[in-house]
Amino acid sequence: MHPSGRWHISIRFDDPTIKPLPVNDNAIGIDLGITSLIATSNGEKVSNPKQFKKHYKRLKRAQKNLSRKQKGSKNREKARIKVAKVHLKIADSRKDFLHKLTTNLVRENQTIAVESLAVKNMVKNHKLALAISDSGWSELIRQLDYKCLWYGRNLVKIDQWFPTKRCGNCGHTMDKLPLNIREWKCPKCEVIHDRDLNASKNILAAGLAVSVCGATVRPEQSKSVKAGAMKQKPKS
């Protein structure tokens, strides 16, 4: 039972109505972020709904009310449940948004390349922990994982981050590219890059390199490919 009082039941079974989607030639690279939840190799950005921030005032009021109640009293228990319900609302809203997003990605693309992020280690940075947790990166990857399995899609996980400072057009790598620089011009080919969109193109290139190198990526098992350099993370 959830702290809010909601009951959950988990049942596992094979659903014969779930069948692989028709194969297509679409492939997409996805770069995860905070301001933009994802940036894709086809030039799109999806804003982060930031559900915790959206419900913060309501949560703060509920927590303040809880702190005023006497420990062990019935009123405190009622106040505790109200706090738990706000947390549940945040989690439900976040998960619903991610389900719609991941379902669309899986329907439209045969191959999806993403970063394999060590979120547990990243949230140890207290300044960014809340923003990272509110983004729901782990849940997004989890949903992509099983939906690709269900629908016959290929999910390629890149073990190490490809650098945002590598030009996705010519391959030139900048010596320095501070996180506050969100757009930059390649000195070699003179192409102007959006930092996040460029990263998504590099991620796609790494994912497609799996096939070029002779590896196979099966729908029932995500494959990963190691990149040669680290990309600075997280970003806003």
Of 115, 134, 139, 194, the catalytic one is: 115
196 catalytically annotated = yes
31 catalytically annotated = yes
The whole-angstrom separation of Cα 46 and Cα 52 is 17
Of 15, 96, 196, 220, the catalytic one is: 196
Of 14, 25, 31, 175, the catalytic one is: 31
The whole-angstrom separation of Cα 39 and Cα 115 is 12
Token pair 């890059």 is at which residue? 193
Tokens representing 58 are 């309501």
Chain-centre distance of CA 148, in angstroms?
15
Tokens representing 199 are 């990263």
- The answer to whether the bond into 49 is cis (omega within 30° of 0) is no
115 catalytically annotated = yes
Q: 103-139: buried (b, 16+ CB within 10 Å) or exposed (e) per residue? A: eebbeebbbbbbbbbebeeebeeeebeebbebbbbeb
CB within 8 Å of 72: residues ≥ 6 apart: none
Instruction: List residues with catalytic annotation.
Output: 31, 115, 196
